[in-house]
A and B are shown apart, each in its own frame.
Chain A
Amino acid sequence: MVLFILLRLLPGDPANALISVGADEAQIAAARRQVGSDLPLGQQFVQFITSLARFDLGTSFVSRTPVLPEIMDRLAVTLPLTVLSFLLALVIAVPLGILSAVKADRWYGAAISVISQLGIAIPVFWVGILLVTLFAVNLRLFPSGGFPPRGWDTPVEALRTLFLPILTIAIVMSASLLRYVRSATQDVLGSDYLRTARALGAGFSEALVRHGIRNGAVPVMSILGIELATALLGAVVVERVFNLPGLGSMLLLAIEQRDFPNIQGVLFISTLLVLLIGFLADLGQRLVDPRLRESRGARS
């Protein structure tokens, strides 16, 4: 409802994406009829609600093709992009975060912490441009952008084009993740159970691995869900820099063209995905922390 009204408040008319200089009044009228912007707002709203209730995302005003297949096409870029960057960020952030907490008194522990602080401050697009200049334009190791016409039918090509965008997101994401891992580890280090475990004869590493990681993972896990959701929505910028045909660039273009069905479709699907991620993060927390499972059992 809010979305519907906000979109209609934008100046301009979706029909304008269809006409060009030289169009006469009949053509403008035809375009408005086509996209339904000639109807009263109330009627447009009823149409919108009824089709949403049928899970029908409708047909794009501009491309005149159904919205859902295009979203699926673009998810084939955005999902691997965010999931893989997320995994890479984990691989970077978890060990480094633990290391910088455990070795906080050594120079490299402090260095990791300072660098990650810097990483948080750097904008994503800047990292992207830097990587393109270095790895694509100068070293010619990876393509500077785009996505192969055959998509995942040519998996090697697809992965090659996604490498730099994934690295870009992973670098920025790991910087903030690292801070969370570090502080969670510090909490664990100061905890009673770790001291007890060591007192019972476990070595430092053993105690940390057996008892620390599990406990530290719980708060980190809830942050992970939020980070992943942010990455999904934040892909807009990276897709622009690397010219990727993902969900973010679809949304951007649709807003420019006032292509309401496409805007609504993308937002609807990304909301579903964010909810799904939240649910998975919750589930993950329960898996690592038996207390969360038991407390529910106790109540019922």
Chain B
Amino acid sequence: MSADTGLELPASPPGAGARRRGGTWRSAFATPSGIAGVLLMAGVLVLAAMAVLGLTPASPRAQDVSQGLLGPSGTHWFGTDQFGRDVFSRVASGLANSMRVAVVSVAVSGVVGITLGVVAGYYQGLADRVVGVVNNVLFAFPSLLLALALAATLERSWVTVSVAIAVVYVPIFARVARGPVLSLRTADYVVAADAIGRSRLSTLVEHVLPNMAGILVVQTTLSLSWAVLTEASLSFLGFGTPPPAASLGGMVYEAQTLAVIAPWMLAFPGAALVLAVVGLNLLGDGLRSALDPRRADR
């Protein structure tokens, strides 16, 4: 699991980073992989938006068995499944579901995990010990197994799936946030802020957090791709987003027995899933190289 974003901390005080910010985003999207990531994610978001706004050619749940297992055509761009449901509309709806679960789970785990990591690293002592033990326990489970156990015991819906994935990601965010805080709290400008009598909390908010924002942005992007994969795996195993709602993992599961006679049922949801994950990974890579001070002068 990619817990390490591979970023170094900025040595400069806040302000210097802010001046560069416009340039950071521009250079993130100027690398070939960054551009590819942006384009892929734009495509994914357009499809997801179509599904959310009800602009897909058909309802993702509308069945018509007489139109079952049709190949791709002008009316059904990605073909139909065994119930005659339009695969294109279901892929769009499945992408919307993936994005929704990924954003909610990463938002929850990010807020909780970063708070835990920052508190542990900044205040140390007992807080650090307790967070350390909780982290060790959560890390002791293979990630999919923990998410599976949680998702299986809660009532099945996309919200509980998001919560299950969020729990798995809390320790990763906590660890990623703790490291930079440990070195930033002894940085000269943080010590200086303490020395002129700022409260510890305002030093934390004004000087420590802004300087680790880059690391957290990269980690968040990469976590989104892992969350998409985990949601899909859970749905494939039958413990994710419940049918008849469309989920990419669930569609792959349904295609398992039919893929030989209806390969489009496997190919399109599979491709959508892979492209969404590749897009998020490329975006994360682009951001990482743009935010990496070692590569700034290249």
Q: Do A and B bind each other?
A: no
